[in-house]
Chain A
Amino acid sequence: MSDIDEGLRSELQRQGIWVTSMQELYNWGRKNSIWPLQFGLACCAIEMIATAASRYDIARFGGEVFRPSPRQADLMIVAGTVTKKMAPQIVRLYNQMPDPKYVISMGACAISGGPFKQGYNVLKGIDRYIPVDVYIPGCPPRPEALLHAFMELQRKIDEQKLTGASKAAHLDRTHPSEFPVPAFGTHDLEPAANADVFRPMKIQRTQ
């Protein structure tokens, strides 16, 4: 599992011997068969379908198997506006997905509420309740942008460690794999954000 000397590896490869580590093999297998959840919310979902269709063909990245059931999915593409009525269902779907699981927040609405952020019924970003791995800005992002995010996610999976202090979240028993589902309160969802997941930045102004 330790790192292999790069020079030795290429030397062996020239002789016809292919050396890999358990970690590389494991991550290679996982990153090339990411099955997304077939789940669209709004406008971005149409671009997600266009990405899966013949022009852009997400199958080239091993992600064409859109699963209608969360139990078989590895990746949730939150594509579209998340309303407060829909947010509990999304968190529940996320909880139902087996580990390891990833989330791509596609489009302005899923990141921050986007153009509809003024609305009383719009959740200001799905990362208030579930951890998001990759964000794609755009309204809606082009299919190429989704593919770019998909490759970014593949890079992230490739970087994950099997052991050690910085090992992947799904191998860490202390790391939660399910998150509390928000409930409808009198005015808003309760809680309004999950403090374990949502850590907003404080804007520092120099001027």
Chain B
Amino acid sequence: MTTTIQTLEPAERPLQIMSSRLEGELLEVSMGPQHPSTHGVFRMNVALDGEIVRKLKPVFGYLHRNHEKIGESTSYLGSMPYTDRLDYFCSMTNNWAYALSVEKLADIEVPERAEYLRIILAELTRLQNHASLLGFLLSDMGAWGTPLMYAFREREKILDLFESLSGSRMMCDYMRFGGCRVDASADWLAQAKKIVERFPKFLDEFEKLIVENEILIARTQHVGKLSAELAISAGITGPMLRACGVNYDIRKVDGYGIYPRFKFRIPLGEHGDTYDRLMMRALEMRESIAILKQAFEQIPAGPVMNPKVKIRAFRPPVGEAYGRIEAPKGELGFYLISDGSPNPYRYRVRPPSFINLTILEDLCLGHTVADVMVILGSVDIVMGEVDR
């Protein structure tokens, strides 16, 4: 038997575990693509020394659906429903990012009411994404059912709003370059306001359920620590970056749409561990509620679609544009090159969860194999976006 331990990373585990370790070979375990907590069809080849992870190799491509290639052969309008299927939790923010890029490319103005509607829908998306993420993360940790059921109970309310506005629960296909497809009625806004006002009650309850739970604390604190330097150099964005204490939110940095008009704070973490990443979502939901409340008060009347925009046979001028927004998972950007034809010459997506996933090995080394699932859950990936 040969030991290859010497060539590997030094152990980060407490000494008593290391000293009692039996000398042996590394065990390679393939986790996924069919695994209950890989959030889709993600696969990790993990080299284990006992229970400790020594190497981790992510394997992607099990959901590679040629999104970018299809985007280059479809018209600008035709790509809009495909963006719904990128990050299938957050179709509204995907729509917005794509619409923003096309608007930049063709220099289109968006009516005021449409901007407000976009913000309302993006923040509602953030609420339901973060709520279901917390549910999934806890069910990965073994709290099977309860938190996920509570989260989905709230998510269904928001999906009902999406459905009555856009016609579909998940694949909304709601935004268009130059505005939004249909206007929201006063009834819809009142209903949305009611749901948003009740949301903090759910958050209070949910936090009571999880925040002080000793098992959760033991499983998440000091697990999967990410340093701010590594996060910045790896291009991590979104709640994962802010959990390391880096104040970077594209809503503030770019001020796209009409975000500068709203008053909200950016919650920041301190340790960059899984617990911080988890709490970051809970805190962000509270800020989203603050934004939503302001938006409901300020939303003006008016058209929701720029009448000058021709949706069919849309041909933007030659050029290129990169539009990015703060999606619930991080920076979501679309890079488009137009050659003046009805299809983009190049269509590229900058998916937040794919880039956030690149440092998975750094997070997992030295932890036990049971922690890998928790760390992966806290990264918040959606395979539709990772593989595209």
Contact = CB atoms under 8 A, between A and B. Distances in A.
B152 A122 contact: no
A38 B36 contact: yes
Interface string A62-93: 00000010100000000011010110010001
Nearest to B37: A68
B33 A46 contact: no
Given A46-B170, A116-B66, A140-B171, A86 B41 contact: yes
A45 B63 CA distance: 13
Given A42-B383, A85-B61, A122-B66, A55 B156 contact: yes
Interface in B48-72: 61-67, 69-70
Interface string B155-196: 110010000000001110000000000000000000000000
Given A43-B171, A45-B40, A54 B149 contact: yes
Given A41-B40, A54-B152, A118-B70, A47 B170 contact: yes
B384 interface: yes
Interface in A179-199: none
Interface residues of B, number: 33
Contact of B34 (A55, A89, A118): A89
Interface in B74-96: 81-82, 85, 88-89
A139 B88 contact: no
A50 B169 CA distance: 11
A83 B64 contact: yes
B152 A50 contact: yes
B148 interface: yes
Contacts of B66: 116, 118-122
A53 B148 contact: yes
A172 to B, nearest CB: 28
B306 interface: no
A134 interface: no
Interface string A22-46: 0000000000000000111111011
A81 B383 CA distance: 11
Contacts of A39: 34
B41 A119 contact: no
B265 interface: no
Nearest to A113: B65
B217 to A, nearest CB: 26
Interface in B362-388: 383-384
Contact of A121 (B65, B81, B85, B148): B65
Nearest to A43: B88
B153 interface: yes
B294 interface: no
Nearest to B82: A115
A101 interface: no
B368 to A, nearest CB: 19
B227 interface: no
A43 B148 contact: no
A42 B63 contact: yes
B255 to A, nearest CB: 31
A40 B64 CA distance: 15
A119 B65 contact: yes
B33 A142 contact: no
A4 B64 CA distance: 54
B247 interface: no
B148 A116 contact: no
Contacts of B155: 50
Nearest to A109: B65
A42 B169 contact: no
A121 B387 CA distance: 11
Nearest to B59: A85
Contacts of A55: 152-153, 156
Interface string B18-43: 00000000000000011110001100
Contacts of A139: 171
A50 B69 CA distance: 31
Contacts of A168: none
A157 interface: no
A35 to B, nearest CB: 14
Nearest to B84: A43
A49 interface: yes
Q: Which 4 A-B pairs have the closest CB atoms?
A: A119-B66, A53-B152, A43-B88, A68-B36
Interface of A: 38-43, 45-47, 49-50, 53-55, 68, 70, 80-81, 83, 85-86, 89, 93, 115-116, 118-122, 139-140, 142
17 contacts: A41-B40, A42-B40, A42-B88, A43-B88, A45-B40, A53-B153, A54-B152, A68-B35, A83-B64, A85-B61, A85-B64, A86-B63, A89-B33, A115-B82, A116-B67, A120-B69, A122-B65
